[in-house]
A and B are shown apart, each in its own frame.
Chain A
Amino acid sequence: MTAFLINLATLAAISGILASTLNFIVGYAGIFSVAHAVFFGLGAYGGAQVALLLVPNPFLACLVAAVIAGGLSLCLALPALRVRGEYFVAASLGLQMVAATLFAELKPLTGGIGGLVGIPRPEILGTIVPVLPLALAALALILWATARLQRGTFGRTLQSIRDADSAAESLGKNVNAAKTLAVVFACAGAGVAGALYALHLSFINVESFTLDQSIQIMAMVIIGGAGTLWGPLVGAVLLLSLPAVISFIPFIPPTEVGAVQQIIYGTAMTLLMIFRPAGLLGDMSKGKSTA
């Protein structure tokens, strides 16, 4: 039972990082990306390769993962940032599809469909350490950085771009540069989450980095409350805990858990959008018409 809870807490912390970093671009900059799992995957493969080929040092794995995910987000974000709104969603969807295919096909780097196995446990100074404290520390660091950026001038710049990018630009803000910085920061964070995920599970494959994962991360942000500091974390914990809670309900046959979970997801999402469109911790007035 303890191992189960530690596993759940570790995955919740990693999901919290993913949701918080996606929230940074969705909630503050208004960039609706459905490709966050790509950068999660890039970090996971990068961190795993560091552990497999070099040394299972979690700090080095996370650093390499952040550089790879952040760096590649720069190359891929620049053309995509030329489009906005639903066009950006479509562009990021295309990126997600291409990346998932590459993850499955680039066997020397990703292990292909079979993935990478036998990723060593993380070690610090020769001692094997659990991933949970590392994931919690990374989550705390990312929440702190997000809060600092959100309350500072960069947060104001992103919010001004989200609300009226042409007006922000006519006030002297280099909109593309600010958006790119936000995307790099968010994707580097997703890369760190990926490295921790790989070190935690010791096995990764493309199944964890598909469109389903991107949508689940987006759901965490929306359910918790986009544009809030704690909302995405609440959304991550809720969405990760739900399957575990359902599996403990005695009168639901184990074979029906998946179906019940889908029904609960669907009903909860519908009710949430009706009664709290801005998410559980979101600003209630945001989801309502102001006409």
Chain B
Amino acid sequence: MTGIALRSENLSRSFGGVQAVAGVSLSLPEGQVTALVGPNGAGKTTTFNLITGNLRADSGTAEIRGKPIMGLKPWQVARLGVARSYQDLRLFTHMTVRENVLAATETSSWFWQPGGRRAQQQREHRAESAMEATGLTALADARAVDLAYAERKFLSMARILAAEADIWLLDEPASGLDLSSRIRFGTLLKDAQARGVAICLIEHNLDVVVELSNRIAFLDQGKVLAEGDPQTILKDPALAAIYFGDRPQEAA
């Protein structure tokens, strides 16, 4: 449970004159939840995009259990066991819940999937299990576009569960969830943690961060300003000032 599943070193990326990520180094231990916390524009989602290959890094490296992943395409990174969610969910809106989840189990881009009938049954079983774990079994035949907001969030999680990835990158997965949904979401995360999944969470709700994460990396202006356990980081008055927009003015 103590191995490092994913490690990045000095990841950097700029857009024009804006340095979105400036030398971010992160380690995601197996079986732990690491929260990326910071104000809007801190570079949290860009860091995810650099790790998953959705964006090319200007410099820096990343590896999954020692295997370099810089330069790989997103589907190649995904096949190494990385699953991610998006702030805007990006569900397959005109497909049913079951189809959304099944699609997460089918990675071949060929006309058919390998493994024949037996593998197909296993994929269907994985999809059913993921729907059950996320409470979506009764909605299996509903289209994603017709789901309520919380159900869409859980469908996003069901796809990740069905993908059987062991590194999860979750972008604001609990935003907009009510208390009972947040409790269900927390249970999902704790179960995954117990299985050794390395989880990285971008979250603005600090209650969720404190409740679910083992450690926090605090980002601001593309840099990791501090790393540590949640209580220590969130009690730091300087970081709190940055987070709540009360940034100390630099001397002219």
| Cross-chain contact of B109 among A162, A166, A178, A283 (Cβ < 8 A) | A178
Q: Is the CB of A157 within 8 A of B78?
A: no
CA separation between A183 and B120, bound complex, in Å?
26
Q: Does A245 count as interface, using CB distance less than 8 angstroms?
A: no
Q: Is the CB of A175 within 8 A of B75?
A: yes
Q: Is the CB of A167 within 8 A of B91?
A: yes
Give chain B residues whose Cβ lies under 8 Å from the Cβ of A173.
75, 103, 106-107, 109
Q: Does A105 count as interface, using CB distance less than 8 angstroms?
A: no
Q: Does B84 count as interface, using CB distance less than 8 angstroms?
A: yes
How many of chain B's residues touch chain A, expressed as a range?
20 to 34
| Cross-chain contact of A164 among B90, B112, B113, B163 (Cβ < 8 A) | B90
Known interface pairs A153-B108, A153-B113. Does A169 touch B78 (Cβ–Cβ under 8 Å)? yes
Across the two chains, which residue of chain A brings its CB closest to B143? A285
Q: Does B102 count as interface, using CB distance less than 8 angstroms?
A: yes
Q: Which of B94-142 contact A (CB under 8 A)?
A: 94-95, 99-100, 102-104, 106-113
The interface bits of chain A over 136-178 (1 if a CB of B lies within 8 angstroms of the residue's CB, else 0) are 0000000000000100111011011011101111111111011
How many of chain A's residues touch chain B, expressed as a range?
20 to 34
Q: Does A84 count as interface, using CB distance less than 8 angstroms?
A: no
Give chain B residues whose Cβ lies under 8 Å from the Cβ of A159.
92, 94-95, 99, 103
Q: Is the CB of B74 within 8 A of A169?
A: yes
Known interface pairs A156-B103, A171-B159. Does A286 touch B94 (Cβ–Cβ under 8 Å)? yes
Q: Is the CB of A166 within 8 A of B74?
A: yes
Q: Is the CB of B109 within 8 A of A157?
A: yes
Q: Does B52 count as interface, using CB distance less than 8 angstroms?
A: yes
Q: Does A181 count as interface, using CB distance less than 8 angstroms?
A: yes
Q: Is the CB of B103 within 8 A of A181?
A: no
Give chain B residues whose Cβ lies under 8 Å from the Cβ of A178.
109
Q: Does A290 count as interface, using CB distance less than 8 angstroms?
A: yes
Q: Is the CB of A171 within 8 A of B109?
A: no
Across the two chains, which residue of chain B brings its CB closest to A227? B94
Q: Is the CB of B93 within 8 A of A170?
A: no
Q: Is the CB of B75 within 8 A of A166?
A: no
Known interface pairs A167-B86, A169-B74. Does A157 touch B91 (Cβ–Cβ under 8 Å)? no
Across the two chains, which residue of chain B brings its CB closest to A177? B109
- Within the complex, the shortest CB–CB distance from B142 to chain A, in Å, comes to 12
Give chain A residues whose Cβ lies under 8 Å from the Cβ of B108.
153
The interface bits of chain B over 153-169 (1 if a CB of A lies within 8 angstroms of the residue's CB, else 0) are 00000010001000000
Q: Does B79 count as interface, using CB distance less than 8 angstroms?
A: yes
Q: Is the CB of A164 within 8 A of B74?
A: no
Known interface pairs A159-B95, A163-B94, A171-B83. Does A154 touch B145 (Cβ–Cβ under 8 Å)? no
| Cross-chain contact of A169 among B75, B94, B110 (Cβ < 8 A) | B75
The interface bits of chain A over 256-288 (1 if a CB of B lies within 8 angstroms of the residue's CB, else 0) are 000000000000000000000000000101100
CA separation between A283 and B73, bound complex, in Å?
34
CA separation between A159 and B93, bound complex, in Å?
9
Q: Is the CB of A170 within 8 A of B54?
A: yes
B contacts, CB < 8 Å to A:
52, 54, 73-75, 78-79, 83-84, 86, 90-95, 99-100, 102-104, 106-113, 145-146, 159, 163
A-B interface, 6 closest residue pairs, ranked by CB to CB distance from nearest: A172-B107, A167-B90, A172-B78, A164-B90, A174-B109, A163-B92
